[in-house]
Structure 1
Amino acid sequence: MLTIFLISLVSIIFIHQLYKYAVDRPEGFPPGPPRLPLFGSYLFMLLINHNYLHKAVLSLSKWYKSDIVGLYVGKFRVAVVHNGEGVRELLNNQACDGRPALYLSRMRDPGDGVRGIFFQEGLLWKEQRRFILRFLRDYGFGRRFDQLEMVINEEITDMIDLIRNGPRYEHEHLLVKPGGYRIQLPMFFNPFSANSHFSIVYNERIPRAEMANVVKLVQLGLQFQRNADDYGRLLSIIPWIRHIFPETSGYKKLNESNQYIYKFFADFVDRHIETYDESCERNFLDLYIAEMKKELPEEYGFNREQFIMGLVDFSLPAFTGLGVQLAMIVQYLMIYPEVAKRIQHEIDEVVGSGRLPTLEDRDKMPYTEATIRENLRMETLVPSDVPHKALEDTELMGYRIPKDTVVLASLYAMHSDKRIWKDPENFRPERFLDDDGKLCLKKDVSLPFGAGKRLCAGETFARNLLFLMTTAMLQNFDYTLAPGDSLPDVSKNESGLIISPPDFWVQLKER
């Protein structure tokens, strides 16, 4: 009897402690699901919607009737904000400008460290971001720059030639079918957007014949983006899982991507360090090398490894994200051909066919710009933004957010909120036009590039390139269906670190 009593007592104590662990949360913390040992609330999220975790957490927000929910992802305490006012409050709260030390961020370079810009905070982040942005702007990043626009137009000319005449080199067979007019998305646009970006950073472009490494960079960059999720996958909760399930955990593909990307940019950096001449400033890399030689305090971060990862972070959207967003624009233009026709009418009236569209044409093409903005809203590339972290005890939307809490701004939820958009499920570019058919920026309260101090530094570059490539394609071609093709199904777009379409081929027809 005594044995049974003791076992029962221990069981009751264990169950009580387990219950207390499951429901315990800091005073004033947002409502949310219970947590399980080791996994936290992550398994509940997977059960609700394992394909789209940002949608799973939005479901939790609706269940708890709160625009902010609190949960646990492994050991990490997380608060997720779901309405427009709260998202803006979060992104503009400097107390939330930290970055959590997720394993996904630590595994990006061979030193298993946390370098670069995306996952940095404090003095190093401020100094690195300030320096890189200050000087990259001189080369056209973050503002309009005529020379850069010329470079982009040259890349677009190469792109159109590849479509019309088919591949010349082996690596181009991954982008275009022999004979031309059939392109693979989302791969196709990325090498050209990457080369436009490289012209800013290195003051040089890679010739088409030598772009095999860039095409592979795009492939592995997309592989990295697709093999993670908003919360870092199980790798961020139980990193040791990589030793047991390297394939299913995503570790093998993530590691393969990281190694190639790191080496690609390390080779650029090392070549410039070896050939550096202080009497000749060739490009932005020379400016950074000069800063490295000043032997500034270590906490400023001016060293080779930080330089490499800083370039990775500033370049990653150019060789992955921009091509993906362009592919999603193509998806909607195929689903809504009347939108494509209306853009083509605008192009014909403003530009004609004798030259490529330029940024000077943009103000006269409000419907085109509205369509791009509507696509950025409908298919938010980074649905949960990059994770933030509370640097100190703070408040959000009336709730207490303890120091070191991971805080996420659900841009997806904000962009699909009926209280803001009325009919967010409808693809309707007109929502950004006034009664006279002109673009009304006041109506665009979307935040596809984030906001605050952590605003995406490449927003201007991205918006410019999206406009120039979208209009150049529609000026010259129609998107059509070849025999056996079907219209894109945007509900099957994949969710990783970014939203991306599954690989698909698109038929083009000369206008």
Structure 2
Amino acid sequence: MFECTSTLSLAVVLVILLLTWMYFNIRRPFGMPPGPTPYPIIGNVPTLIGEVPPWNIFKDTTFKYGPIFSVKFGSFWTVVINNFELAQEALLTKFNDFSGRPYSYNFHWFSDFGQNIAFAQPTPIWKSHRKLALSAIRKYTMESLENLIGEVMPKVTHVISERADTPFDPKEVITLAVYNILAFMCFGKNYEFKDPELLQLIKISDERTDALGNGTLADFIPAARVLPSSSVNRFRKASLEFFAIILIEVNRHLKAYSPDEPAKDVIELLLKAQNDEMETDSSESKLTDVHIKQIIADLFVAGTDTSTSSLLWAVACMIDNPDAQEKIKKELDDVIGDRPPRLSDRGKLPYTEAVIMETMRFGTTAPLGLAHCAIKDSTIGNYNVPTGTGVIINTWALHNDSKYWDSPEKFKPERFLDSTGTIKQRLMSFLPFSTGRRVCVGQALAKAQIFLVFTWLIQNYTFEKAPGVTGDVAIAGKPMIVNFTRPYQTVAHPRY
């Protein structure tokens, strides 16, 4: 009898301890926004890794909890912002408070433990390297991008001609074009479209993106990091192959680089900055070989997936909206005729620009962006946000807020034009590249690249639905960090 009583007492104590632990595990810190109750240990992780896009779930959650709420991903509390006013507060008014990045198991490893730009904490070294990357982007956007696209587009013509008037997946040709542009900018290489090295670069990048999805359990639950994970293994294998290509290019440049000659690509620009730093014995930025590798990786990752996604959405929206496609063609014919588009044409093609902007709203490329992190105790709205709390801006919710967008589910380029037919200057609830201190470093490059490639495609081809296809083709695909369209086919008819 005594042993049974002791066993029962022990069981009761263990249950009480377990329930107490569970209570404290899911209890929100004082003053944080309300939100859905998290599960013990895993929290609200199923929201991120399910089949339903998390940005849709977050927007629906606002109907119960309001535009700001909190969730727990494994061990980490996160605040999710779903409207423009609170996003402005976090990103602009209190940009210093929320300029950090939360810990991510996979991204921490990928960035050589925080030595890149995208995932590094806001230190003086990060600021110096960010300036360097922006300088490189400005230089090659203004000086080389038009000529480079002029060299790449004939290759696009060749590929599309091989599929003349027959259905094909535009992702292949768009991906080849975008990767070639970035490879030339970073490596000084102008690949042929069938070059095995270019195809391998695209293959491993696709593998890396697909393996990561919207994150793995290891990113949110420390205990999961000791368990086998095919997703983590695939991500690391593809990433190592990607880094190997970058290092081969850096070493190739080192053999031929001369600091006395003008930099011909981003690697040479970085090597020159590193050489200048060594000569001045600067202790502020310390541009190491690892930093060079990571800056190149940042530019490639930021400039390929997002631009490819945006262009795929743009072509899909033109297929679904032939009237808009015809208006662009007329504007292009009237303003630039049959010569190639130039960056200086921006401002002269308001309807074309409105279509590109509406595409970025309608098919938001980075629906949740990159999460921020509170680096000090702060507030958003009426709620406390303790140090270390993640902050997610649901850009998709901002871009579909009926307060700012009439019938947001519809594709309406005119919403970006004022009564005189010019582009609106003040755009509320529109943040395709985020804003503030952590605004996308590749924004200028992405805008220029998308403008030049898209206008060239519409100038030279008419895109239609493949025979037998009914319904819209501009539909989101598998939920991932980058929001790609569902795979679709089109028929491209040459205009000239």
The two structures share one fold, judged by TM-score above 0.5:
yes
* 1:91 aligned residue: 91
Shift of the 377–136 alpha-carbon distance from structure 1 to 2, 3 Å rule, reads: closer
**Deviation per CA, 1:322-353, whole angstroms, max 9, x where unpaired?**
1121011111111111111221222222222x
- 1 CA distance for matches of 2:194 and 2:455? 27
**Deviation per CA, 1:397-437, whole angstroms, max 9, x where unpaired?**
12111111111111111111111113211111111111222
- Compute the displacement of 1:186 (Å): 2.4
* 1:280 aligned residue: 261
The alignment partner of 1:217 has SS state of helix
1:98 and 1:391 in contact (8 A); partners too:
yes
The alignment partner of 1:501 has SS state of coil
- 2 CA distance for matches of 1:455 and 1:12? 48
Please tell me whether residue 41 in structure 1 is matched to residue 50 in structure 2: no
- Compute the displacement of 1:274 (Å): 3.0
1:116 and 1:313 in contact (8 A); partners too:
yes
* 1:506 aligned residue: 490
Shift of the 323–209 alpha-carbon distance from structure 1 to 2, 3 Å rule, reads: closer
- Compute the displacement of 1:239 (Å): 5.9
Q: Which residues in structure 2 correspond to 1:85-124 (within 5 Å)?
A: 85-92=85-92, 93-108=95-110, 113-121=113-121, 122-124=123-125
Q: Structure 1: any 5+ residue segments left out of the alignment?
A: 167-176
Q: How many residues align?
A: 485
Q: Which residues in structure 2 correspond to 1:10-409 (within 5 Å)?
A: 10=13, 13-14=16-17, 16-43=19-46, 45=47, 50-64=51-65, 66-92=66-92, 93-108=95-110, 113-121=113-121, 122-140=123-141, 145-164=142-161, 166=162, 177=163, 182-202=167-187, 204-208=188-192, 211-230=195-214, 232-238=215-221, 241=224, 244-247=227-230, 250-283=231-264, 284-293=266-275, 294-295=277-278, 300-352=285-337, 354-409=338-393
The alignment partner of 1:188 has SS state of helix
- Compute the displacement of 1:23 (Å): 4.3
* 1:172 aligned residue: none
- Compute the displacement of 1:138 (Å): 2.9
2:100 and 2:372 in contact (8 A); partners too:
yes
The alignment partner of 1:333 has SS state of helix
- Compute the displacement of 1:98 (Å): 0.7
Amino acid at match of 1:185: P
**Deviation per CA, 1:201-239, whole angstroms, max 9, x where unpaired?**
34x332316733223222322332333344x23120236
Shift of the 135–358 alpha-carbon distance from structure 1 to 2, 3 Å rule, reads: closer
- 2 CA distance for matches of 1:106 and 1:508? 42
1:201 and 1:285 in contact (8 A); partners too:
yes
Amino acid at match of 1:289: L
2:465 and 2:489 in contact (8 A); partners too:
no
Q: CA RMSD in A?
A: 2.6
Shift of the 187–387 alpha-carbon distance from structure 1 to 2, 3 Å rule, reads: farther
**Deviation per CA, 1:257-315, whole angstroms, max 9, x where unpaired?**
21222112111112122333333343342342244344457773411122101110112
- 1 CA distance for matches of 2:136 and 2:451? 24
- 2 CA distance for matches of 1:399 and 1:265? 44
**Deviation per CA, 1:36-57, whole angstroms, max 9, x where unpaired?**
33212213x269x643122222
- 2 CA distance for matches of 1:310 and 1:119? 11
The alignment partner of 2:169 has SS state of strand
**Mean alpha-carbon deviation: is it higher for 448-457 or for 276-285?**
276-285
- Compute the displacement of 1:503 (Å): 3.4
- Compute the displacement of 1:449 (Å): 0.5
The alignment partner of 1:421 has SS state of coil
Shift of the 444–345 alpha-carbon distance from structure 1 to 2, 3 Å rule, reads: farther
Percentage of identical aligned residues? 24
- Compute the displacement of 1:74 (Å): 0.9
The alignment partner of 1:468 has SS state of helix
- Compute the displacement of 1:498 (Å): 0.7
**Deviation per CA, 1:7-43, whole angstroms, max 9, x where unpaired?**
5642652354045225422111111122333212213
2:460 and 2:494 in contact (8 A); partners too:
yes
- 2 CA distance for matches of 1:246 and 1:361? 49
**Deviation per CA, 1:453-494, whole angstroms, max 9, x where unpaired?**
111122222122212222211222111233454555444422
Amino acid at match of 1:97: S
Q: Structure 2: any 5+ residue segments left out of the alignment?
A: none
Shift of the 46–200 alpha-carbon distance from structure 1 to 2, 3 Å rule, reads: closer
1:477 to 461, 464, 470: 461
